[in-house]
Chain A
């Protein structure tokens, strides 16, 4: 599936993604979570299938479309059930509390051939918008290099 994949070990809690997303969308749909002053990870809507938020939505504002959960803000009544249903806490109330917002992988930019802003702005390239096999290939290559280095310490392994 298409999604934003995260190399969380590269996240340095700089908040560039939150500020960029907030600028583009009025409020940020991505949130960086800091853990024990040792790690951080940026998190955004996982576009689940089936999606608990869409399942509880009383107004039909959340629908699945081609692997993404789309929000029709015009239909949202602000009932807040989706805020309760999301297991990750990645649906957010709007500032006035009357509706919700979440990450749609910068759908409006995709129509113009542009990548999501969090992906473009991340200073350490922790975020990638790509097919899973490309993301996995990077991890597999790194794992192979680690194994080879461990088993043959004399080997010069460049990833």
Chain B
């Protein structure tokens, strides 16, 4: 199967580790140019060094996605430097937590608002160049009870609603919008590595709850994100793809 990604231009905020980093690597392998950011200049510099010399180019700078002006300026800069944008994959998250009301404000600001702001900036550019693909990184925790009621689950759930309705609105411009909902994904330096050490029993239960008895890998999710973001998925829009190795128990009609 040909993904037809060569020459595409992708903007992927916060993609310096884990699933999104793997997405960046795969897109570069496919010949895309990719723009990334992180709050830390050092992290951006290190990531760009690691990615240099691939088929496609990686560019980026430090940016705080919760700072409206900074974030919007970063996207415009990246669009300008790459000469347009074909793919947008917003996946930055404030993470889980049920400590206080502050969790809700943070999840709204980081997970929801930065996604909405990003979509509003990139869609005119995509429209101008004849189309594009937007892929949200959501979570299985939005469709099944997981880890207790909390902002992360609910705010990611709101992105499912927004993605579907956005896909209806901008479908006519040949812009597809989809969601990929990973289950628990394990990698060195990821939350589940920390949870394996700090919440050992719970971690073991989560492992057992997977039909294969293990957590997923970044690559197993990024394969799906890259596919949905590529022209090979031209007839897929408004969907939410569960990428969880069969972890969730609900029936999806």
Q: Do A and B assemble together? A: no
